Structures are given as structure tokens and as C-alpha cells.
Structure 1
């Protein structure tokens, strides 16, 4: 932007702020110690305020010097009526009274920010760090038992991470699943199972042909539960949580 364009831009901002504060050119001139024609020349871009005058103008309007110049993000300055009234009145106060206004504004800002804070309650669960497979299988009891806190509440006996994609789209890799320890699972329930030494999160299917561990992802085949299989029910999946939730 050329110097002439900058001068016109600064001048237009001075005019905008002056009008927002309800000041005449003569009134503004008195406040910053210049003549009325000087303000007129500023506003049309014939002259540009020097640094001392820019400082005084920013003090009158309660803004920074940068606010007179084009913004790098191309956002226009919008002075609300309420803000203009606040600045107009506070600029006429003596410094001790201005500090009272500032202190009050800080208290209001702190209350506003505090009111916008959402506190998430955390719940603690027993956690197995060894993943429950949604794929090739993992041995659950090889994992280390510890505790984990999560911002969701389930009546679960333990939590474990999911490994693999065979239960998508319902359960994704690295999701946490909440498990209620129980042997009472029915056809169609999602549970955690041990089959031939491997731990799985699967859907239990029972029909006339037998029982199967079913994957929700169609690219995986069902795993039959045979008479000779080493099969155990660990529990029922009652919920899930992802860090992306």
C-alpha cells in the first residue's frame, strides 16, 4: 500500500472513531492540542499525524496506535455502540477513576472466562494395557493391570484398548472398550472372549449350525467355536470411548 493510501486509510479511521465518540473536529483538536484544520487534513489524508499526535489520539479513543492502520488479516475494525460509550465516558475521567473502570472490567472478564470453562469429571477404571484384538488375537492376561481415568461413566469392571479394524465401524483401532465381567451373553451381544489362548472383541452369534465369533467388518471371516476349542467368555462390552470423542 502506497504512503498516500495509508494516509487516507489512517484519516478515515480517525474520522470513524471521532464520530463514534460523538466528537466534532474542533473538540478532537482541543483534546490532542492541534488546530481544527489539522484534524480536517488528517481525515482527508492530506497530512498524517506524527507520533505524539498518534499517541494522544489512541489515548482519546482508548485504542492502540496499530488500530489506525490496515490489519494484516484484512479484518475491519468494528466499534460497537456500547464500547464507544464506555470509551467516550472513561476518556473523560481522571486517572484514579479510570483505574476503577479498568478494575471493574477485569473482574467482569474473569467472571466471563470462568463461566465459559466446562469442567469434565473423570472416572477411574481398572485398565489392561494389552490390547483386545479386533483382528488376529491377543492374550489378555499378558497385559499389565493399572488404572486409567476417562471422562465417561460406565458400570464396567475393566477397560482395555482395541487392536485392529475387524469391528469397524462400531469399534475402531485404539478405542477403549468398557467391559462388564459376566458369563451371561446371548446371541448378538458384543463381548470379550478367549478363543484358543487369544483374546478377542467380537459379536457372539449362535444359530443351528453352532456358535461363532463374528466380525462387524465384512472383510473378516467368522471364527467358529468348536467343541474342542479352548473357549471362555470374559465379559460383555457395554461401552466405548475414543480420545477423538
Structure 2
């Protein structure tokens, strides 16, 4: 496609009280260059009939391909023809090009976001990019029906048959995909149930969703007691504070004044693992 040499001034520079429409701007370029409709068609590859309809104003919403060809022929930006362009019932800003002159169409809302992004500081842009990636990841996971959560697992084989808790310094963090549910979406991390202290509610090997924070009396939580981990029901009465079990054959753990107890989070309930663990 041949391109007419030399940039043309914007038609809006002429004395008009209102912005020119596509028809008027094309008329200006046609007369400016002294071209016939046939010549424009030959140079641009746009059919004669289409050009005539544009010149008469019969066509208000030409295709993006037509606009691009005419803009390239007259060596003017696409924005020359229209700052906003209607296609498929939506308003698009068409002043942007990607590599290899591929056209990018963005809505007014997207353009407003772009302007806000440009006005942001470098640090703010980094935060926005991270948030956008997170939203995309969450959306993809919800589409697949899974949620990815931190998963605390033991480095060495451990059990809690003697109800003495787990060595927390032997835990490491991995990430696990679990089936999406209300519980999974509220959780901050996942732990595995070790031992029989919570049977018959939860058995050894269950994966439990945990919401980080304080645990109230009567709630089941994950606790760090003097460096050992417990999944128990917190119970407070006139005798003091203890980590209570559900299994009557398992012993409760009484909290003494000298003990250091940390609340790691409240157990929301069991979750179902997806097909595989991910890093």
C-alpha cells in the first residue's frame, strides 16, 4: 500500500465551532492532496464504494481496518479521524498501537485507568501491577474451582499419639491447591491434623483451613505452646485455661502461669486437596 508523503495538519485546526466528523476530515485530506476517490482507493486498498459512503457521511462507524488503512495512507494518526470511535456499541479510544502496527482498542474506563497508572509513582505502579497479577491469579483459580494456600508441613515424620504437640521448628511452608469453598476462601493457611485428639470430628491426616488471629474460648484453634504446636479447643473456666480435646481418651493440656501460649489461628474446618501440591 502506497503512503502519501508529508504529514497533513489536523482538520480541527480550521475555523469550525464544533469538531469535524470523519466525513469532513476525509474530505479535507482528499482536497489537500488533490486526490480522486479512485486514487485513494488504489493507495489505501479501501474499496471505492466504502470511501464514497464515508465522504457522503452515510457511514458513521467504519471498521477499524478501514480507519487504519486511511490513516496510514495519509500518514496521519488514527486519532486524526476520531478521538473516540464506536465499534460494537462501545466507545473506544483508538490512539494506541502495539508492535508491528497492531491496533489496540481500549474503552474509556481502561483509558482512565491508564491515565491514573501514568500519574502514579514508581512504587505505586509496582503495587498496582502486583494487585493486577493477584486478581488475575484469583480469577483463574476460581474458574478452575481451586484456591492456593500456604501449607505447613513437617520436615521429619511426626505424630501426636502421645498428645505432646509437634515441634514447630520442624515445620516448613509449602503451597497447596484445595477445592474452592467458602471455608477455603476465608482461610489464611492450611495445616494437617496429627494424632487422635480431635476424633471423631477430625481424624489424623485431615487438612484443616485456618484463619490467622486470636481464638476465643470455645473455638478450635492452632496454638504454639512453649514451641510445640497443638490443634485443640480453647477452654477457659474458673479452673483456668486449657487446650481441650474432643477425644475422651486424649488428655487436655493445662496452661500454667509460666507457659508461653501463642494463638496462630482459628480452625474453620476441613478442606479437600486438589490433584497435586504446588510450590
TM range (shorter): 0.3 to 0.5
TM-score normalised according to structure 2 size:
0.42
TM-score normalised according to structure 1 size:
0.47
Q: Considering fraction of residues, name the structure with more strand.
A: 2
